[in-house]
Amino acid sequence: MPESVCKWYLICPIKYYTDKGLLDSTWVNNYCLVANSKCVRYQMENNGQIHPDNMLPDGSIDKTLKV
């Protein structure tokens, strides 16, 4: 996988939701595929902080997504 891709991409729920067509690919393009360290999920993962699957990279919760 290219270095520009987030190290958690393959196991991240955001990829799963996007692949299933449940989430706009803008999220993946703006965060995951460019390893955007501003991703709140990324930061919380780095800090060992628990976060729900339906939390988007900007830290907001999308209640339409099942956890």
User: Interface with ligand SF4 includes 41 (CB under 6 A)?
Assistant: yes
Q: Out of 17, 18, 23, 32, point to the residue binding ligand SF4 (CB under 6 A).
A: 32
Dist. CA 22–CA 44, nearest whole Å: 23
Work out how close the CB of 21 gets to ligand SF4 at its nearest, in angstroms, rounded to a whole number. Answer: 17
Dist. CA 14–CA 28, nearest whole Å: 7
Q: Where are the alpha helices (DSSP H) in the chain?
A: 13-19, 26-30, 40-46
Candidates 16-24, 31-39, 46-54, 59-67; binding stretch for ligand SF4 (CB under 6 A): 31-39
Candidates 6-14, 16-24, 46-54, 59-67; binding stretch for ligand SF4 (CB under 6 A): 6-14
Q: Largest Cα–Cα distance in the chain?
A: 31
